[in-house]
Every structure is written in C-alpha cells, then in structure tokens.
Structure 1
Amino acid sequence: MTDYGRSPGPEPWHPDDPLYGDQGWDRGQSHGGWDQYGNPLPQQPYPDAQHYAGQQQYPQAQYPGQQYAEPGYVDPHYSGGQQYPQQPHWDGQQQYDWTGQHAVPTHDAYATGVAETYVQQPGQAFTDTAHADPYGYLPPQPAPQSDPEQTAEWSAFHEEADEPERHPFFTGASLTDGEERERFVDSDDDDDEDEPDDDQRKGKKKRSGCAVLVALGVLLGLIGGGGYGGYWYWERHFASAPDYSGDGIGEVQVVIPNGDTVAQMGNILKQNDVVKSVEAFTKAVGDKALQGGVYTLHKEMSAAAAVAMMTDPSSQNSLIVPEGWRASRIYQAIDQKLGLPSGTTANAAKSGDLGLPSYANGNPEGFLFPTKYSIGKSTKPVDFLKQMVQQAEAEYGKDDLEAQAAKMGRTPYEIIIIASLIQAEAQEKQDFQKVSRVIYNRLQQNMALGFDSTINYAKGRSTLNTTSADTHFDSPYNTYLHKGLPPGPIDNPGHQAIDAALHPADGNWLYFVTVKPGDTRFTNDYAEHQRNVAEFNKYQQEHGG
C-alpha cells in the first residue's frame, strides 16, 4: 500500500472501493470539498463504470505528503479529463460545525500527513482515505450496497483488516505492492496457503534428516567422550603404569641435576630409555631419598631395578671432595676418575681459564670448594675445575665474604688463607673458632704462627711428625721461619672453616696442641703448652704414631 491508496497493478479498482481516489467515501458518494464559508461543494460523481472496465493502469503517487492538484489541473492519465477541485487547507485546529448531515473535520494524531476524521452521525465514524494511515489499516467501514462481487471483495478486505497481527505493521514483515494486492484481493486463495506443496514437504524431510544426523553425531560424541573419560580414569587410578621388566640391557650414563624432584628425575630417565614411564619410577621411589649426580645405569630397566641401582653408591658417577684436600690431591682424584694419565688435570689447571678472582693470582688453591660433584666419562678436567670454582664463589657469597672480611680488617683472600689454616689444624668442630682465635692473637702480637701444616704443604706431604730440621725448610710457606700468613691457602676449606675465620671465639690463647683425638688443649702459658706437647709425644709413641 502507498500513502494514498493501492499500488498500481493489473486489476482496475472499483469506484466504490473505499480506497478509491482522494475524495473520501460517504455511503457510496464523494464530497467535492468545501467552499471558503465551510459549506460543502456539490458532490463529484464517479466516472461511469464502463470507463474502468478495462485493464488500463493509472499511475499513483509513490511518495508521502502528496497534495491535491491546483485548480484546473488535468490528469493526463485520466481519460475523462476530470479536474480535481482545490481542497481547503486545514491547520488541524480550526473546525467547522453545522447541523444535519454535514461532517466535522478533526485532527488525527496518528496520521503521518493531514488525516481527518469525519463524523457522519453520532456513534459512526470513518477516515478520509486520502489522508489515512500510511500502513493501510482502516477502521471498520460499512459494506457498500452494490453488486455481490463488490460486496465479497469488500468483505475479504475487511476480514484481513480485522487481524492486525498478520499485517506487516504488526509483524514487522515487508510485502511488495503485488503481494499486498494478492493478499487482500485474492482472498479466495487464503485457504490454499496452509497446504504445503511438494517442495515444502521435501524441504521439511531434508531438514528432519539433517536434524537426525546432527542428533546422532552429538550422541555418538557423548558416548565416545564418556568412554574415553572412563578409560582415562581407570588407567589413572586402577591400571598399572607402563613399566619394563628385568635389569635392562647395555649401559648408559645419566646426569641428574642437584635439586631435581623425583618426577623430574623420572622424566630424564624416560628420555634416556632407562624406564618406561615416569609414573612407574615415582611409584618405585616411594619414600627413598635420591640425590643428583651422574649415574651409570642400564636401558629398559624396570623402575624398581633403576631405583635400586641409583641408591647403590657404586653406580653413582660422582667425585666427593672432602674439606681440607689440597689442589694436588684433587687433580689426582680427577685423573683417576676419568681414567686419564697422571698430571692431565694439573696441566689443565695451569693452562685453562678457571674463572678465578683476580686476587687469586691464578692459583686455584682455596677455590676448589669441597663437596660432591657429578662426573662422567665425557667430562673434561678443565670443565670439572670450573664447576668447583663456581661452587666456591657461591658458597663464599652465602657467607658474605667481602663485607665480613672488611669488618675483620682483612681481605677476602686473607680470610680464605686463615680458613685453610683452621681447616688443617682443627680436629673437632668445637675447636674451629678457638684455633681461629689463636691465629688472630698471634698475628696481633707479631708472633710466628709455627704451624706444622704449613711445612707439610711446602714439602708436599701429610704427617704429624715435624723434626727440627723441618722447621728450617726454606719455603715462603714455612711459618716457623716467616711471620704472618703464608702467601696463599694451603688447602680448600669448607663452609665451617670460613665461618670460623670470620667469627673467632673470645679468648687469650696463644698455644694449642691435640694430645690425642678429641683432646685439644688451649693455653696462653708457654710452660703449660710444653707439658701438653710432652703428653702428645708420649701418646704417639704408645700408639705408633
């Protein structure tokens, strides 16, 4: 529908149709408008019916806001040359009232243009079709009293109008002009619209088939997912973890970093094909304690066999460096562990860059920190020594060596030297801080330290028996001949010795001697010290020392 009547189409409009033209409809008659005094003009008769009997189409205005033609305007498409009289302009406020059968125009708030409602008689109203609702909805109209076909068409039209929810205005649908014509005029075909044709039936069958396939796919997916979830739960909680059987075959070296968890260890073993699964390995470990290191194991071992072999010290490829070992002894141990000729590691220490601090002057002594190290057949001596130096720096960092040495009025290197002396002279843990105090007291009083351990280091030996001739051995490490500290550490001290060098005990001791194991005597009296030395010599004679 357009704002002013039906859209153009192949079928002619009947003159009695309430939407015909712009002149309204009043009991089958049309007003010709009003004059300036408000009196109705003579009614304009409809053109004779014969003129509209054909299929000629008359174009209609396709835009809202259409105005009446100026006086004297002749529609070129209208065969009768009918002139449209000028309609008075209404501002929606002024009203004309008269008695009898005259109409009273009033403002329609719902119209998009100038819509007027004419009250014909009390209780009966109709809308000027020329200014009606642009969506084409009309209030109920009295049926025209003309031929039966016209009455049937009118009835079909208003039956549709009585169902506003089916109209595009209410449903939001959009109909073309031709569709609206077929909807309101061809009302006899309404009953056929509810009957689906063959194509529609086929479409429904296709959609039903697709829905069944989708539902079946979803059902199969749920069944498959549930089955997998059940299998996973059973495998996780009830089934045994995959595992090899037996003691395995061949040989493989596996490096386990320090601090790794049991699960991380199991993952490394699985990657090297030692065990079949991490789960089997962790279950076999249980509450057993495993440490990092280099292990010689077999491939395709059962998890239980792998754990048993890893807890056997003979399977561990590691080198334990005790506190107080000299560098020369460490070099020999590395050569033996790697199966290298004697002196190979010593030469590597001299020629290789080990990452030593500048104040070490290239001397690794004191920086080969004593602890357990992993070592394999492919390990290079220089790499092993670098690892030891890095460990020493880490341990010294824990002790805050530089800052604490400054508090003692010493350099870090001097603290390491003092610690090496403590490590060599102290026999029991409770003696470490006392020996440290003796060293500081003698240095303070400018006394020679006189330690046998320094002579043994200079001579490259380890003995408790020092002769008078030994005390005259010419070496900067001979603390009998040279006062103060030796030029460098005499061994590689551990953490306890470093701590004792930084925190000596309180006391005035100047002398000490270990008479027998567990019996170290401290004194500041030289005569008492000599008696203690005599008891030491006696004990050595009695026990073949």
Structure 2
Amino acid sequence: MTEYGRGRGPEPWHPEDPLYGDQGWTGHQTQQGQAPYGDPHQGYPQEQQYQQQYPEQQQYAQQPQYEQQQYPQQEYQQQGQYPQYPQQQAYAPQAPQAPQQPMYDSQGWDTGQGQYAVPAPADPYAGADPYAQQAVAGYPGEAPDLYATPEAYPPPQPPGRRHVEPAPQEDEESDSALSADGGRDGDGDGDEPSGGGRRGGRSKGGKGGKAKERSGAACLVATLVIVAVLGGGGYYGYTYLKDRFATAEDYAGEGTGETVDVEIPKGSTLAQMGNILKKQGIVASVEAFTTAAGVNPKGKTIQAGVYTLRKKMSGAAAVAFMTDPAKLNVITVPEGKRNVEVYKAIDARLGKPAGTTEDIAKREAKNLGLPAWAGNNPKLIDPLEGFLYPARYDVGKDSTPESLLKQMVKNATDKYAELGIEGKARELGLENPLQVVTVASLVNAEGKNHEDFRKMSEVVYNRLKKTNDVTNQKLEFDSTFNYIKGTSDLNFSMKEARSLDNPYNTHFVRGLPPGPIGNPGAEALTATLNPDHGGWMFFVSVDGITTTFTQTYEEHQTLVAEFLERQKQKNGG
C-alpha cells in the first residue's frame, strides 16, 4: 500500500496523528495557517527532538513546501522492528534548489519526511506560505497543534467512515433583531451558556410555532389564490358564453320622448357607431345595433353626421332612423347653391322662423369672418354670397345661425387662401379676388357637369376681352337674370332680360356682375384658375343636359335655332 501514514506491518498508525488518512484523500482541505501534507514544519515529536539535538538543520526545515524538489525515494530500514515507509510526495510548484540533508528521528533513522539538500542562501520570504498568505511558524517548536485546541476542526476521517453532515440552518432573523428583542441570544441573565456552538435562549418549540404559523399563512394565501383564479375564470367563462351564445340585450319600440344629439364621426364602423349609441343610452347593446344593421338592406349606408335620436330605441329602430337621409341632423350646401336657399335650410333645421338667418346674415355680415377684400362693393345684393362654402355641416343642440354662418365663411376663406386666388387674379386679367369667385359662380351656374367647367371659364374670359366685338364685352348669361328674379327658368322673355337695368343682369351691363351669384365648389374654382384655352365664345344646351361650345357666332346661331325648335315641340306648339 502507498497510503501516507500506513505501514506494511500489522500495527496501524496512531489515530491521534493529525495527518491520519490516505494520501489521495482531498475531502479535507488544508486550512489557512496550516502547512500542507508533507511540509517539514508539520513535525512530529521525534522530529522536534531531533531538531533540538541538531540545530544546524533548522534552516532547512524552514523551507516552504513549494521549494522542495523531489528526488528518487530513499528508504532506510530501521533496526528490525520498523517497516520501511515511502517518502511523501509534494504537489506544490517546484523551484530548483540544492538537495536537502536527510532528517533523522531520535534513533538516528531517516523518517522519510526529509530529502537530501545542501545549504542554500537564506530566503527572506521563506517564512511565508504563498497559498495561505499567513506567516509560517519561525521554529518547529512553535507550530501549534491544529487538532488539539477547542476551536479546531475535528480530525479528518478515513474514507470508510466519511459522511456528509447537513449544513446548519441559519436563523431567519438577523443578529441585530435578536439582540434588540430583549436579549434573545440568551435567556436574559447570561448565566446559562450556549452549548454545542448554537445560540441559546431559543427553544425548539418556539421555532416550531413560528414555522407552523408561516405554514398556516402560506396555506391560507394559496387557498385564496386558488379561489380567486377559479372565481375569475368562472366569471370570464360565463361572460364569454353569454356574449357568444346569449341573445343580445335590446330595447323594444321607437324609444322614449327624451332626445339626444349624437354625432357619428367620419369613417366610423358599425361597431363604433353602436358603441357611441350605447354610451348615449340610445341602444341597449352594440350587438343589438350591429345585428339590426346587418339585417337592414341599407344598414351599411349610414352616413357620418349628427342625428337627433330618442333614448332606449331598439336596434332596428335606430338603424331605420339613421338610414333615412332626411333624419340626418346636418345642413348640406350643394355646389352652386345660392345663399337664400342656405338661409332657409338653416331656419328649418334649427326650428327658427323663416327669414331669421337671412336677417342675421345681412345685419352681421362684417362680423362673420369675411376677408378684407370681400363685402366692400355697395352694389352687392348679399355680401355673404359666394362665402357659404359647399359642404355638409353638422348641427347640434348648441348650433345657432351665427355659428353655422361663421363656420361656412371660414371654410370658404380657407379654401380661397389655399388656392391662392389673391395672387392669380391679375394673371387672369381680373381686378380683385372677389371677381375670381364671381367667375367661378358663373361657371358653376351655367355648366351642366364638371367636364364643362374649363370650357365655360374660357368663354367668360374671351367675352370680357376688349377685342370682343361680337357681344361687346357682354356675358349674356341667363343665370344672372334668374339670380335677380330668384328663379331658375330656362324660358323667359329675352326682351325683358335685355331691358332690365340691374348691375347683376349681364344681358344689360358689360363685364362681370358686382359679386358672385352662388357658392362655387372646388371643381368650379379650379377650372376658373385653369381655363381650357380652346377659343370658345359661345355655348348652348340643346337638350338641357349636354352643353355644346362653339367659337363663332354662326355656329352658335345654328345651335340656338335647334334649341328653340326643341322648346316649341316640348311646349306643344
């Protein structure tokens, strides 16, 4: 056998030897301040006696283990009764040095601990253990017994008797907390010492009580969590099944007498509409509204805007109401519509007496937001004409004639600024931006469709030219005569039209009327700023639908004759 500390004889090594164990046993590591196995400083009594008898050998015994250099094992047989022991090998890093002198015990025999060496120069760091980083005892006689003191670890056990000890459990409370609680480190008087390295003053029963309390609390928390999860899951499961399979909640009938103005934004889906109605108390549920809209053939044609609806209406009643355009609480200004018609629509929608809005418009014209270049001509019939921009306007419970007129004027002013009509007026041979709007109103009134607008604007500009000797700079638009009369007749007395002295009558005066004769839309405005340049001078609508444009008066006379013949046959003449 090659285990350190065991011989080949029948007598075992003394169990009190601190190095008792096998050489390959690494379960017990070297403690700080303790030299590793094989260190000559870990001497035995016979070595200490020998070192006292031979002091000249001490300087070699102080060499640290890592400076030893191994040489082939030298065995010395003691006289008759001691077996031969193998030399202990060192596993620390080797440093070259002179061989050491062998060590002898009290009987003069080699112990196997030392190795041959020759004296070497004194090493100032020979007393320091490079691994433990603590000073090594200066003399062998001063080396402490590492296993005999009360603070020492128990001696290492042989491999056959090893067992893993459970790690000690730390107290859950800190030392400071224990000390602050009435001296819980002890029994309060300090007379009873702590035994076995454990803290005194804490009974096992008390600790068990704490554990039981924590265990009970944990069980209670776990139970509450389980109940909450099951309850929440059951609730959401019930809600899901109800929403999935149950009939949607709905009201019955046309609703109560209480009305609410509800605004539906542009681009709203049916579900979004239903959500708005539900929040306002109109319908009982979103599903009731969307289901009714899906059944109604017009359900997907509901327009954005303001609706005056009753509370607690059935989903079907709400859908039927909102699919009727007449029920939409809005005011729509069509392209080319005259102001007098817009005023009537506002009065009707707001429930005002007839003429209320028109009176406000004439009285408050300067306070409704007109631009500086508008409304200054005293010959204007209506300063707001051309400034009630064509669009759809929502009407709510707070709407007034003034608020609606201001919104319309603002939209028109913003659009004119966007198109830059102030800067383009001179380019078109016009005197001011108001004339641009006036031309656009004529184009919108005379054109039958949007495709004709650019040609119609070309006709206006050509007739306004000073070189026009055919009409002598007269526009001769029937729409201007109808504007004065407040009519829209195609058949009227041309003799009357040419004799009526009115600044708006283009059959009587040259040039443009003082102001617009309607509210032009975006396409008419764009066409006015970009005429066709086709040289058109005349136009006529033979069938009342299609407008035909000509460049010469002869072509125009032919078309006029055709038109008169059609009118004669239509009237039974």
TM-score range, shorter chain: 0.5 to 0.7
Q: Which amino acid aligns with 2:402?
A: V
Q: Which amino acid aligns with 1:354?
A: L
RMSD: 4.7
Query: Aligned partners of 2:559 and 2:43: how far apart in 1?
Result: 145
1:487 partner SS: coil
Other-structure match for 1:209: 216
Q: 1:496 aligns with which of 523, 535, 541?
A: 523
2:340 partner SS: helix
Other-structure match for 2:334: 322
Other-structure match for 1:416: 437
The question of 1:238 aligning with 2:245 is answered yes
Q: 2:154 aligns with which of 143, 153, 159?
A: 159
Closer/same/farther in 2, CA of residues 334 and 209 from structure 1, 3 Å limit: closer
The question of 1:385 aligning with 2:405 is answered yes
Closer/same/farther in 2, CA of residues 475 and 440 from structure 1, 3 Å limit: same
1:358 partner SS: coil
Post-superposition shift, 1:505?
2.5
Post-superposition shift, 1:307?
0.8
Post-superposition shift, 1:112?
5.5
- Whether contact under 8 Å (2:293, 2:319) holds in the other structure is yes
Other-structure match for 1:360: 374
The question of 1:449 aligning with 2:475 is answered yes
Q: Which amino acid aligns with 1:227?
A: G
Post-superposition shift, 1:300?
0.4
Query: Aligned partners of 1:439 and 1:39: how far apart in 2?
Result: 133
Task: Kindly report which structure 2 residues correspond to 1:116-265, keeping only aligned pairs within 5 A, or say none.
Answer: 116=137, 128-129=143-144, 138=146, 159=154, 197-262=204-269, 263-265=271-273
Other-structure match for 1:458: 484
Query: Aligned partners of 1:298 and 1:359: how far apart in 2?
Result: 46
- Whether contact under 8 Å (2:371, 2:413) holds in the other structure is no
Other-structure match for 1:88: none
Query: Aligned partners of 1:487 and 1:318: how far apart in 2?
Result: 31
Post-superposition shift, 1:99?
5.5
Other-structure match for 1:374: 394
Other-structure match for 2:275: 267
Query: Aligned partners of 1:391 and 1:431: how far apart in 2?
Result: 25
Other-structure match for 1:472: 499
Q: Which amino acid aligns with 1:295?
A: Y
2:224 partner SS: helix
Post-superposition shift, 1:368?
1.0
Task: Provide Cα deviations, 1:62-82, integer angstroms capped at 9, x if missing partner.
Answer: xxxxxxxxxxxxxxxxxxxxx
Query: Aligned partners of 1:157 and 1:330: how far apart in 2?
Result: 108
Query: Aligned partners of 2:279 and 2:547: how far apart in 1?
Result: 53
- Whether contact under 8 Å (2:475, 2:510) holds in the other structure is yes
Task: Provide Cα deviations, 1:224-256, integer angstroms capped at 9, x if missing partner.
Answer: 232234234324433444332332111414242
Q: Which amino acid aligns with 1:267?
A: N
Q: Which amino acid aligns with 2:375?
A: N
Q: How many residues align?
A: 434
- Whether contact under 8 Å (1:106, 1:118) holds in the other structure is no
Query: Aligned partners of 1:478 and 1:380: how far apart in 2?
Result: 34
Post-superposition shift, 1:478?
2.6
1:159 partner SS: coil
Task: Provide Cα deviations, 1:444-464, integer angstroms capped at 9, x if missing partner.
Answer: 334221222223323444433
2:541 partner SS: strand
Closer/same/farther in 2, CA of residues 237 and 404 from structure 1, 3 Å limit: farther
The question of 1:514 aligning with 2:541 is answered yes
1:522 partner SS: strand
Other-structure match for 2:446: 425
Q: Which amino acid aligns with 2:371?
A: P
> Gaps (5+ residues) in structure 2?
1-17, 19-41, 59-96, 115-125, 176-184, 187-192, 377-382
Query: Aligned partners of 2:389 and 2:339: how far apart in 1?
Result: 10
Query: Aligned partners of 2:262 and 2:418: how far apart in 1?
Result: 26
Query: Aligned partners of 1:495 and 1:513: how far apart in 2?
Result: 24
Post-superposition shift, 1:393?
4.1
Closer/same/farther in 2, CA of residues 203 and 424 from structure 1, 3 Å limit: closer
Query: Aligned partners of 1:214 and 1:349: how far apart in 2?
Result: 74
Q: Which amino acid aligns with 2:387?
A: F
Q: 2:457 aligns with which of 418, 429, 436?
A: 436
1:359 partner SS: coil
The question of 1:347 aligning with 2:359 is answered yes
- Whether contact under 8 Å (1:319, 1:374) holds in the other structure is yes
Of all paired residues, the percent bearing the same amino acid is 42
Post-superposition shift, 1:197?
3.3
- Whether contact under 8 Å (1:242, 1:280) holds in the other structure is yes
Q: Which amino acid aligns with 2:261?
A: V
- Whether contact under 8 Å (2:442, 2:479) holds in the other structure is yes
Other-structure match for 1:308: 320
Task: Provide Cα deviations, 1:266-288, integer angstroms capped at 9, x if missing partner.
Answer: 33322321112334323433361
Structure with greater strand percent: 1
TM-score by length of 1: 0.65
Other-structure match for 1:285: 293
Query: Aligned partners of 2:312 and 2:139: how far apart in 1?
Result: 105
Closer/same/farther in 2, CA of residues 157 and 188 from structure 1, 3 Å limit: farther
- Whether contact under 8 Å (1:107, 1:117) holds in the other structure is no
- Whether contact under 8 Å (1:442, 1:510) holds in the other structure is yes
Query: Aligned partners of 1:106 and 1:528: how far apart in 2?
Result: 131
Q: Which amino acid aligns with 1:375?
A: V
